[in-house]
Amino acid sequence: MPPVVQRKLLLATRNAHKVSEIVALLDGLPIEVSSLQDLGIAGLPGEDDVEVFSTFEQNALAKARFYRMHTGLDVVADDSGLCVDALEGGPGVRSRRFAADHGVNGGDQDAANNHCLLRLLEQVEDADRGAHYRCALACVTAERTLVVGGRVDGTITRSERGCGGFGYDPLFLLPQYGQTFGELPPEVKAEISHRAEAIRSFRRWLEPLEPLEMSR
């Protein structure tokens, strides 16, 4: 019988926090997960022009198709962000570039984004500080294409709380827990986050894919 090898899956991100979260959430599946850094994939021509769409789903799918085309590997790509009610759904797909969009460049990107968000919400009442995280996850393989999503609702605090997580996590409060994502234990976040919800759907889709058989 030919030996069985694990499927290879490329995570199309250079965000080490996202890599850690996704790898942990995919634990137990017969796949070998690599990041762009793991494979030594530096900036590719046109890479910065991929995420130009107005929805998370479009951006995730465009990114997955881009790296599939350039590597030939099965690719999973994530686009996620924070949507704040008082900002009419912003920063949304511009979450990573939020501070830069408001003229703040350089330094710690997460800290700059959080500072910018707090400044814009300074006069917003607590009852109007609702927000949600969104995640779109796209996978492109030789056989199939998938786009799934996840969402978690909360509110925005008036100052950073906790040192865990990344991005806007220290500002994103889950009322049912009385804690921000920055304060919650990682194992709890891994159960309830927007990315966890998307990954659960992805796992159900991925599990039927048989490991590859290596010809002798």
The answer to whether the beta carbons of residues 138 and 147 sit under 8 Å apart is: yes
pLDDT at 208: 60
The answer to whether the beta carbons of residues 67 and 10 sit under 8 Å apart is: yes
27 Cβ contact partners less than 8 Å away, ≥ 6 residues apart: none
pLDDT at 187: 93
* Range among 26-40, 41-55, 169-183 rated most confident: 169-183
**Which amino acid, 20?**
S
Residue with the two structure tokens 């990954």: 199
pLDDT at 47: 87
Q: What is the pLDDT of residues 65-86, one digit of tens each?
A: 999 999 999 999 999 999 999 9
Closest CA to 80 of 198, 201, 204, 203: 198
Q: Which residues are catalytic?
A: 79
Q: Pull the structure tokens for residue 77.
A: 């790509």
179 Cβ contact partners less than 8 Å away, ≥ 6 residues apart: 161, 162, 173
pLDDT band at 212 (very low <50, low <70, confident <90, very high): very low
Mark 118-157 as b/e (b = at least 16 C-beta within 10 Å). Answer: eebbeebeeeebbbbbbbbbbbbbeeeebbbbbebebbbb
pLDDT band at 3 (very low <50, low <70, confident <90, very high): very low
Q: Check pLDDT > 70 for residue 216.
A: no
Q: What is the pLDDT of residues 90-110, one digit of tens each?
A: 999 999 999 999 998 878 999
Query: For residue 30, what are the CA distances in angstroms to 16, 53, 83, 170, 210?
Result: 22, 33, 34, 34, 9
Residue with the two structure tokens 């969009």: 101
Q: For residue 65, list its beta bridge partners.
A: none
Domains of the chain: 4-213 (3.90.950.10)
Q: How many residues does the chain have?
A: 216
pLDDT over 70 for what percent of the chain?
Answer: 93
